[in-house]
Amino acid sequence: MHHPIGIVSTGSHLPDQVVSNEEIARTAGVTDEWIVRKTGIRERRRAAPHEATSDLAAAAARRALEQSGLRPSDISYIVVATSTPDHPQPATAAIVQHLIDARAAACFDINSVCSGFVYALAITERMLRADGGQGYGLVIGADIYSRILDYTDRKTAILFGDGAGAVVVGPVPEGSGVTHTSLQTRGDAHGLIRVPAGGSRLPAAPETLAQGGHYFQMDGRGVRSFVHEHLPAAVAGLLEEAGTAGDRIAHFVPHQANGAMLTEVWPSLGLGSATLHMSLEWYGNTGAASVPVTLDEAHRAGRLAEGDLMVLSAFGGGMSIGTALMSWAPTAHSTPPTATLPLAERCRGILPLLPAGLATM
């Protein structure tokens, strides 16, 4: 018999440096009040100059492994979701393997931008199921967007932070684990989110640097329209395929793109009984890391109960949407260190822009 596959443990890592809205606002030509009103973000973290994406990813992986009680040698696959890799090649996952000494693991990266973690989770779950449901995988979302931002562009500079989140995926008890996943891409909208230069179409050159082609660029209104049109349909389609009513879902963990946008789209998702988990107030949009970072904080704070139904959903460049339905497995959890408890312990209030009943971490 094949065991069900689910999340065995969680981990996350946020850099030490805190970057306030005031600091971002100075170069972006806006105010702290404007950033909070438009995004719900108050601060974010920034990687140190010596840190690369693999360093953040490895730190999150170690925390997930520690919680699981497994050794690095127990891991069969390491899949890193990132759009800010250490290098164009080799894969960042190979560097993570070296950093945590998981020599038996096959490793690769995927780039579905901010959807990457859910894509990686779906892929790893299927690989483990094909292996007979006996092995373990490390699924990591990690990004350092601070290296690719134009801090004079108020549309993008205000949104992003650096971070990494990880989960150990493996066999879980019957009746729990990942039950359904859905991966969708609308390539006709690929121009909404992009870094134009640095690849084979526009290789790095003095001209591309001078034109700012290596910076992250986004059509904010286009992204908002895409999310409003496609996210509710993706969630509804997943639940319909699973034969699960929306009022049975206990938790919704979305990509932490923008608090105002999530608040707008929330009523149309049909998940009125669920808790909407948000961590962006203090971390910003951490790209592929945002779903696992938010999940780790909810887990370590004891907010997830065995058997709770949960939907993970992320959207990002491509344009891509990944959704996953799971029944939360019995897993170990512990209270995180003070440094990683900004929302629960440092701020007891709810974001001003959120209606009553929505939960921040």
* Residue 251 annotated as catalytic: no
Residue 339 has pLDDT above 90, yes or no: no
pLDDT tens per residue across span 252-285: 999 999 999 999 999 999 998 999 999 999 999 9
pLDDT tens per residue across span 288-315: 999 999 999 999 999 999 999 999 999 9
pLDDT tens per residue across span 30-60: 999 999 999 999 999 999 999 999 999 999 9
* Residue 21 annotated as catalytic: no
Model confidence, pTM: 0.91
pLDDT class for 334, splitting at 50, 70, 90? low
Task: Report the C-alpha gap between 216 and 146 in whole angstroms.
Answer: 10
Strand positions, DSSP E, the chain: 5-13, 17-20, 43-46, 75-81, 106-110, 136-144, 162-171, 177-185, 193-194, 217-218, 251-254, 275-278, 309-316, 320-327, 359-360
Active-site residue identified among 107, 114, 251, 299:
114
Non-local (6+) Cβ contacts of 348 within 8 A are: none
Question: 121's torsion region: left (phi>0), alpha (psi -120 to 50) or beta?
Answer: alpha
Active-site residue identified among 258, 277, 285, 299:
285
Residue 73 has pLDDT above 80, yes or no: yes
CA distances from 265 to 176, 259, 361 (A): 28, 10, 19
Active-site residue identified among 13, 251, 255, 299:
255
| 8 φ/ψ angles, rounded to the nearest 5 degrees | -90, -35
- Contact (Cβ atoms closer than 8 angstroms) between residue 27 and residue 351: no
Predicted confidence at residue 333, as pLDDT, reads 61
* Residue 114 annotated as catalytic: yes
pLDDT class for 134, splitting at 50, 70, 90? confident
Distance between first and last Cα of the chain: 38
Non-local (6+) Cβ contacts of 278 within 8 A are: 40, 254, 256, 259, 262, 294, 351, 354, 358, 359, 360, 361
Domains, the chain, ranges and CATH? 5-171 (3.40.47.10), 177-360 (3.40.47.10)
> pLDDT > 90: what percent of the chain?
88
Residue 151 has pLDDT above 60, yes or no: yes
